Amino acid sequence: MQLFRSLLFTTYMMASACLFGAVMTLGFWLPYRAQFAIARSWARQVLWVLERLCGLKFTVEGRERIPAGNHIVLSNHTSAWETVAQFLIFPPQVWVLKRELLWIPFVGWGLKLLRPIAIDRGEGHRAVNQVIEQGQARLEDGLWIIIFPEGTRVVAGETRRFGVSGALLAVASGKSLVPLSHNAGTFWPRRGFLKKPGTIRVIIGEPIESVGKDPRELNEEARQSIEAGLARIAQLAKEP
């Protein structure tokens, strides 16, 4: 039965993403914040259906730690879930993502209207410079930046080396890094079809000031904060 429910949910999510992408494309003339409101509405519906069909909900600890203004979020990346939930957790935002996502019909067209920083991960330093240059422009426009420093989704419980582009952008802009930890991959694996019932836990860590810091030290500080959040989540999962 859970497998069938997961199939229904996946079908809904894919169809609704295409529909909302088409709506956003038809409204290409709308300002960014109106487009973001459409995307946020889609995310809200998707997570509502996920809870009703698959019994998978989420809680967020640390919303009060989100600083005023707009800053840079660094998050672990283990599932497709966090790419949806970010719309509801943080204010208007843009993501650093691989440019191939913009080639997907309807979905990619809608994504492009959300002004992402679309990079070719194989371009190395050029991609990092793109994040810094375009990231500063987005920050100056009052938008948040969402970065998955591991670069790709990883298996829950595993880690990869953190890319330093987020820390470099923070130092260049003077903005803070906001670490985010979650265990979405435990319930919605990166390549798994089955969505398990339960509660995804999200922890927003204390914002990390960037002024006067070395980017690599700043990046390591953010990594340690995210891992501390993951350890706390694991501990909470063991409690009755």
pLDDT score for 37: 97
CATH topology of domain 2-238: Glycerol-3-phosphate (1)-acyltransferase (3.40.1130)
pLDDT in tens, 121-147: 777 788 899 999 999 999 999 999 999
Mean pLDDT of the chain, nearest integer? 94
Mean pLDDT for 58-68 is: 97
Distances (CA, A) of 129 to 24, 136, 138, 169, 188: 29, 11, 14, 9, 33
The total of other beta-carbon atoms located within 10 Å of residue 190's CB is 16
The total of other beta-carbon atoms located within 10 Å of residue 19's CB is 14
Locate 50 and state its tokens: 């996920």
Question: Global pTM?
Answer: 0.95
- Proportion of the chain above pLDDT 70, given as a percent: 100
pLDDT in tens, 84-95: 999 999 999 999
Q: Can you give the residue ranges of every domain in the chain?
A: 2-238
What residues contact residue 206 under an 8 Å CB cut-off, 6+ apart? 65, 179, 225
* Residue 105 in this model has a pLDDT that exceeds 80: yes
| Strands of the 56-61 sheet, one edge to the other | 56-61, 198-204, 177-182, 72-75, 144-147, 93-98, 117-119
* Residue 240 in this model has a pLDDT that exceeds 90: no
pLDDT in tens, 147-205: 999 988 888 877 788 999 999 999 999 999 999 999 999 999 988 889 999 999 999 99
211: DSSP letter? T
Distances (CA, A) of 60 to 156, 183, 201: 18, 11, 6
